[in-house]
Amino acid sequence: MDTGMETGNTGNGGTRPLDGLRVIDVSSFLAGPFCSTQLAEFGAEVIKIELPKVGDALRRFGSITECGDSLPWLSECRNKKSVTLDLRKPEGADLLKELVRGADVLVENFQPGTLEKWGLGWEDLRAVNDRLIMVRISGYGQTGPYSGRPGFGRIGNAFGGLSFLAGYPDRPPVTPGSATIPDYMAGIYGALGALLALRARDLTGKGQVIDIGLYEPIFRILDELAPAFHMKGYVRERMGPGTVNVVPHSHYPTKDGRWIAIACTNDKIFARLAEAMGEPELAGPDRWGPLKNRERDRAAVDAHVGAWTARHTRDEALAVCEEFQVPCGAVYAIDEIFEDPQYKARQNIAFVKDERIGELAIPNVVPRLTETPGRIDSLGPPLGAHNDEVLRGLLGLSEERLAALAAAGVI
């Protein structure tokens, strides 16, 4: 495929804002690893701890490549060093504590109580390094009656209130785009929490815990759901592609079998859409100009707009909306994203070369910093690829000790 895209923010060189920061990642699957990956993109040294011979479950989740690791692993564990260590064994726990002595952040997403059982809880680790920042991501958080329950992204979507809103009112709730949304959201909040705690440490000299339940970032982003229920007892139901409080604000068909998104968030924008459709009278005070009238006739408004878009190809409808400054966009599939000039201009897709699989396209770094940007140095590493560098080079273990640890299954 000729993408016309460059490799984007990849390669070596240049100062990054987290240069000199050391992160120990003992998490697995997605939420914790995504948290530490964001720190790694901006310069942190991330040492990923994995179970010997087994590795992170993310290595086997999704499409498996010829190198034996999955596409999610290669993409979402970029820029990390892989070290094998069995934390269930006392020697493994002791080695982790040695790593923690020189670390700034530790990321974990075990069920609450697991690390404590191994002698690696917060009190154990802060005794080794009281400047440590510990990011703890779990299904329901470290406290509360549900804290001991296991949790995955799908549960976070459901318990957080998002799944109930996804789909049509006369059908069962559906997956809201992806079951992994809470994992990514928790990872983002985990990275934000780590940065906030690092700033606080500059002021106090002390580390602290960041405690996140997978459902909490989902609940945090649900617009006015909570205050609307508290004030009015309003329970929002599924609305298909529509949106509460505004209309037209949905997905509309085009005559070439595609879809566009149109978002009229106020009366002025609807008036521009009415002009674009060649029917300015629709925005009159006795028609659909006031929002209350459009909400009253929501189905008719959406049907009318959909009938207009259906008379045009997607590109024609987009061009007219753009001409009249009506917010609109194509409803893209991934193949269309690869061909879009905006994605190319912004280098949103990075093409990273790896000796194991050749070139791989992955989402590029976000956010974009003008002076100290993040970058992608490498894809997710082979299991234990950095054992020697970290255990011998950083901790000073001898060849004999490493051999003994390997024989005992600790590394």
User: Rounded to 5 degrees, what angle do the CA atoms 301, 303, 307 make?
Assistant: 120
Q: What is the percentage of the chain residues whose pLDDT exceeds 70?
A: 97
**pLDDT grade for 251, boundaries at 50, 70 and 90:** very high
pLDDT tens-digit series, residues 342-368:
999 999 999 999 999 999 999 999 999
Task: Give yes or no: 183 in active site.
Answer: yes
**Alpha-carbon dihedral sign for residues 105, 106, 107, 109:** negative
- How far is residue 359's CA from residue 352's CA, in Å, rounded to a whole number? 5
Domains in the chain, please, with CATH?
A: 22-221+353-407 (3.40.50.10540), 249-339 (3.30.1540.10)
Which two tokens mark 286? Answer: 């006795």
3-state secondary structure string, 163-184? HHHCCCCCCCCCCCCCCCHHHH
- How far is residue 323's CA from residue 87's CA, in Å, rounded to a whole number? 60
Give the residue-averaged pLDDT of 406-411: 97
- How far is residue 184's CA from residue 34's CA, in Å, rounded to a whole number? 7
pLDDT on residue 12: 54
Question: Which of the following is catalytic: 69, 86, 183, 211?
Answer: 183
The angle that helices 314-323 and 267-276 make with each other, rounded to 10 degrees, is 120
Mean pLDDT taken over the chain: 96
- How far is residue 193's CA from residue 217's CA, in Å, rounded to a whole number? 12
pTM for the structure as a whole: 0.94
- Of residues 149, 145, 147, 124, the one with CA closest to residue 134: 124
Which H or E element spans position 73?
A: helix 71-76
Flag whether pLDDT at 238 surpasses 60. Answer: yes
Give the residue-averaged pLDDT of 185-202: 98
Flag whether pLDDT at 3 surpasses 60. Answer: no
pLDDT on residue 13: 72
